[in-house]
Amino acid sequence: MKAAQFGEYGTPEVLEIADIAEPHPGPGQVRIKVRAVGVNPVDWKIRSGMLAEILPATLPLITGTDAAGVVDEIGLGANGVAIGDEVFGVTSTEAIHGGAAAEYAVLDIFTAKPPTIGFAEAAGLPTAVETATRALDDMHLAEGQTLLIDGAAGGVGSAAVQLAARRGIRVIGTASEANHDHLHALGAIPTRYGAGLLDRVTALAPDGVHAALDIAGQGGLLDLIALTGDPQRVLSIADPEALNLGVHLSARVGPAAPAAWHALDQTADLVRQGLFVLPVGATFDLHDAARAHQHSQSGHIRGKIALTVA
Ligand SMILES: NC(=O)c1ccc[n+]([C@@H]2O[C@H](COP(=O)([O-])OP(=O)(O)OC[C@H]3O[C@@H](n4cnc5c(N)ncnc54)[C@H](OP(=O)(O)O)[C@@H]3O)[C@@H](O)[C@H]2O)c1
């Protein structure tokens, strides 16, 4: 089968289309004929080698963990699923395992694709909704409280805005101005990130913000601590500096917090009811995986990036 993989760490060009043996499902897993792959920043962070010390990959590695497609093999004990079912999910609960960007992929965790969305949109869901749900669960906000989300327009942010709003939380989200309509449509009050953030947010929330979620990881933590008045009311998913500032850094791997994989079923239900949407802002062919990584690396994303697989 064809797969987008890399045999050494480096720039996006190390990604190549290779012809490799097809995988087969183990116990509890399914194999899918992949129709689309969700691209996440962790994919290029792993490919570049910047995470090699904390998440060493076994090379060559097929990029990507999020995928959607049609079930064509079922592993022992994988119940409630049939050949021909349309599903989406993750190849592995550990980001470093990759395996999605190929003609066939084995999924560890999966759920039925809502018929109301396409494969590209479904492939964009897993990491974004798991992360957003884990972060919101960790923050224990009550209905009516105000949450500031820094970096609200991308994959995790677009999911977090909607899931927080569904919990009755008032959301202020930061994005570049080009993405303000997008944020507004998802249920957030948009504002620009960067210089002057304190004044802008204070004007929007004169009674203060109860908590802040740093999704961008772009150095905004001191502002978020100032706005909430307490580092323990700030949570980051992307800035290692958090650990030096008394801010909780939430990660899917490691002992810190259990992953929120139940979010896949929950969000699929919301999608079926027309209550959740995670738009795909850019789509690339599997053969253009390097360009998809470049786009993700640009850091200015609306919704998700997907690879389509013929
Ligand atoms: N810890 C975990 O479990 C976990 C899980 C998933 C992701 N992550 C990490 O979380 C980060 C975000 O992931 P993602 O999938 O949401 O990324 P994404 O889809 O690439 O979105 C990034 C967003 O950041 C915004 N942004 C860029 N510069 C900014 C700045 N200076 N201040 C505020 N926002 C800014 C962009 O908005 P504009 O386009 O409007 O500029 C863009 O929408 C990545 O670093 C990723 O590796 C961590």
CATH no. for residue 161? 3.40.50.720
153 CA closest ligand 1 atom index: 43
Q: What is the pLDDT of residue 231?
A: 98
Same domain for 110 and 18, yes or no, is: yes
CB 54 near ligand 1, within 6 Å: no
Shared-domain flag, residues 39 and 100: yes
Give yes or no: residues 171 and 234 share one domain: yes
175 CA closest ligand 1 atom index = 40
158 lines ligand 1 (CB under 6 A): no
Which residues constitute the domain of residue 83?
Answer: 2-124+278-308
Q: Are residues 45 and 107 in the same domain?
A: yes
Report the separation in Å between the CA atom of 155 and the middle of ligand 1, taken as the mean of its atom positions: 7
pLDDT tens track for 86-133: 999 999 988 889 999 999 999 999 999 999 999 999 999 999 999 999
Number of domains in the chain: 2
Q: What percent of the chain has pLDDT over 90?
A: 94
Same domain, 118 and 165: no
- Rounded to the nearest angstrom, the distance between the alpha carbon of 220 and the centre of ligand 1 is 12
In sequence order, the 6+-apart residues with CB closer than 8 A to the CB of 26 are 75, 76, 106
Q: Which residues of 218-238 are buried (b: 16+ CB within 10 A; e: fewer)?
A: eebbebbbebbeebebbbbbb
- pLDDT at residue 188, rounded to an integer: 98
Residues 34 and 93 reside in one and the same domain:
yes
Query: Both 223 and 297 in a single domain?
Result: no
Q: Which residues in the chain come in under a pLDDT of 70?
A: 254-257
**Residue at 264 is within a domain:** no
Q: State residue 254's pLDDT score.
A: 67
Residue 260 in any domain: the answer is no
Q: Counting atoms of ligand 1 from 1, which one is nearest the CA of 249?
A: 1
User: Does ligand 1 come within 6 angstroms of the Cβ of 238?
Assistant: yes
Considering the domain architecture, whether residues 95 and 138 belong to the same structural domain is answered as: no
Q: Is the CB of 48 within 6 Å of ligand 1?
A: no
Torsion of CA 88, 91, 92, 96, to 10 degrees: -120
Same domain, 120 and 220: no
Classify residue 268: in a domain, yes or no: no
How confident is the model over 285-305, as pLDDT tens digits?
Answer: 999 999 999 999 999 999 999
Q: Which atom of ligand 1 is nearest to the CA of 41?
A: 47
Tell me, yes or no, whether 202 and 223 share the same domain: yes
Going from the Cα of 71 to the center of ligand 1, the distance in angstroms, rounded, reads 31
Amino acid residing at 183: L
Q: Are residues 13 and 115 in the same domain?
A: yes
Interacting residues of 99 by C-beta distance below 8 A, sequence separation 6+: 23, 62, 64, 65, 91, 92, 105, 106
Q: Give, using CA atoms, the residue closest to atom 30 of ligand 1.
A: 218
Q: Residue 79 belongs to a domain with what CATH number?
A: 3.90.180.10
Give me the pLDDT at residue 9, please: 98
**Domain presence at residue 212:** yes
pTM of the model: 0.98
Q: Is residue 266 part of a domain?
A: no
Q: Supply the pLDDT for residue 252.
A: 84
Q: What pLDDT is attached to residue 94? A: 82
Residue 144 falls in which region: left (phi positive, over 0), alpha (psi -120 to 50) or beta:
left
CA of 157 to the centre of ligand 1 (A): 7
Q: Do 6 and 118 lie in a common domain? A: yes
Q: Is 242 contained in some domain? A: yes
Residue 267 falls within a domain, yes or no? Answer: no
Cα 234 from Cα 225, distance rounded (Å): 6
Query: 3-state class of 19 per DSSP?
Result: strand
State if residue 191 touches ligand 1 by the CB under 6 angstroms criterion: no
Report the atom number in ligand 1 closest to the C-alpha of 252.
3
Question: What's the 175 CA to ligand 1 centre distance in angstroms?
Answer: 10
